[in-house]
């Protein structure tokens, strides 16, 4: 899933590079408004979850605040962090994945306890969900990010 994440982010970035910043920032009525804001949220979520897993909390602005206002800045950070996610995922052990993980969600004001594997699944599911929103916005502009189906994207990576 880390390789899939990286590949799809690269595909989306390649298409988004064809748009001026004003088009990336335009409110398109999506949950986070614009393409740029949705990508910011996706990056924010990845950083927060990996910070939790690595016991190194991500110090960032509150949820909903843009981390990057310039697309080029986002692209470099996304590329670097996708490499980090891939390295991290390649080191996971079965023993770690089955361990319980407890954390307090300030957003939902509750503490949850779930196995690591379940929350790692959420990390990748969250990415897929929001990339789907971005690909829809791009599709509405007549732009195609290419194949996004897991079996066809990941197969060459295996």
State the residue for tokens 């089955």. 98
104 is in an annotated binding site: no
Tell whether residue 126 is among the known ligand binding residues.
yes
Q: Is 116 annotated as a binding residue?
A: no
Q: Are 36 and 25 in contact (CB under 8 A)?
A: yes
Contact 32, 21 (CB under 8 A): no
Cα–Cα distances (Å) from 154 to 3, 19, 57, in that order, read 7, 27, 30
Helix axes 35-53, 116-140, angle to 10 degrees: 170
Q: Which two tokens stand for residue 10?
A: 């690269």
Which residue positions form the known binding site for a divalent metal cation? 41, 126, 130
Which residue positions form the known binding site? 41, 126, 130
């Amino acid at each position: 899933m880390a390789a899939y994440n990286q590949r799809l982010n690269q595909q989306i970035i390649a298409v988004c590079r064809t748009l001026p910043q004003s088009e990336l920032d335009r409110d398109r009525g999506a949950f986070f408004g614009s393409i740029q804001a949705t990508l910011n949220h996706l990056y924010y979520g990845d950083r927060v979850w990996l910070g939790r897993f690595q016991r190194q909390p991500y110090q960032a602005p509150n949820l909903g605040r843009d981390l990057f206002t310039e697309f080029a800045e986002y692209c470099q950070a996304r590329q670097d962090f996708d490499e980090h996610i891939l390295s991290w995922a390649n080191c996971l052990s079965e023993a770690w994945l089955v361990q319980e993980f407890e954390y307090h969600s300030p957003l939902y004001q509750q503490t949850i306890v779930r196995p690591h594997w379940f929350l790692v699944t959420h990390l990748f599911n969250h990415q897929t969900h929001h990339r789907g929103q971005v690909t829809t916005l791009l599709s509405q502009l007549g732009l195609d990010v290419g194949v996004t189906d897991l079996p066809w994207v990941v197969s060459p990576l295996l």
